Amino acid sequence: MPFVRLGRSRVKTFSLCLLTLVVIALIAASPWGLRAFGGPTARWERLSFIGQTYGAASALLAALALIGIAATLIFQAHDTRIAREEARRIAIAELLKMAMDDPALDEAWGPVPADADRKARRQLMYINMILSEWQMSFETKALPEKRLRAISREMFSGRPGRAFWEEARQVRMGTAGSRRARRFHEILDEEYGLAPVPPPERPRARRPWRFLAGSAAGVLVLGPLVRRAVRRRRSSG
């Protein structure tokens, strides 16, 4: 995804630079083009009209050249902003990976509930990184809306994806800073509502070794009692 975004931005920048160079070349070559109108019978009045036409045309071409330069600078600034945002998200992803592997580092991000399920918490952190990548790709138009709807609906069809969106929906939708970011979260919210709700998780069956351990403990406790009862019967008999 990052290579696709960089490739597209470079193509746009190169095209604008090439267009600007072509316009400048036309302005520079226009005097030689005007010589074709000259001849042995050319008059100064005719050259004056041609000069006036050339002046208007050169002004128009100069304006187009300035527009091309301005557009090039705008695209370069946009690409720079995207590169910074991508670098920031990569750094955050690396920090989250460290927190996923080390519970002590996880606590550095904020208080961790005492009864928090470690597996579920790691899944939420991983889903957050996935959505950050989707958002960057959608904002740069590398991820089409149709594809985003398909993969987000698939994610929200599972319990971890639904649990994440139920917890992070309000924060993510409230902090979207651009029109594309708001649209991205609107699509996610729509697909969350359309995704099929997974069936409730079945309670885990008790493991056999726990049952055997309990039985063995019961035998150890009841054994002495049984022996005492047998002895009493023998002594009374």
Residue-wise pLDDT tens digits, 162-204: 999 999 999 999 988 889 999 999 999 999 999 999 887 776 5
Per-residue pLDDT tens for 15-24? Answer: 666 666 676 6
Question: Averaged over 123-143, what is the pLDDT?
Answer: 92
- pLDDT for position 30: 58
**What DSSP letter does each residue of 149-194 carry, written as one string?**
HHHHHHHHTSHHHHHHHHHHHHHHHHS--SHHHHHHHHHHHHHHHH
Best CA proximity match to 28, nearest among 59, 58, 53: 58
Cα–Cα dist 69/35, whole Å: 29
Report the amino acid identity of residue 95. Answer: L
Per-residue pLDDT tens for 95-129? Answer: 888 888 888 888 888 888 877 788 888 999 999 99
Cα–Cα dist 83/182, whole Å: 20
Residue with the larger pLDDT of the pair 160 and 111: 160
Cα–Cα dist 197/162, whole Å: 8
Cα–Cα dist 182/178, whole Å: 6
- pLDDT for position 138: 93
**114, 41 contact by CB (below 8 A):** no
Instruction: Report whether pLDDT(90) > 70.
Output: yes
Per-residue pLDDT tens for 25-81? Answer: 666 665 555 555 555 544 545 555 555 555 666 677 677 777 877 877 887 887 787
Cβ partners under 8 Å of residue 75, min gap 6: 9, 12, 13, 16
In the DSSP assignment, the letter for residue 117 is: -
**13, 72 contact by CB (below 8 A):** yes
- pLDDT for position 163: 94
Question: In 35-158, where does DSSP find H-type helix?
Answer: 44-101, 103-106, 118-139, 145-156
Q: What is the mean pLDDT of the chain?
A: 75
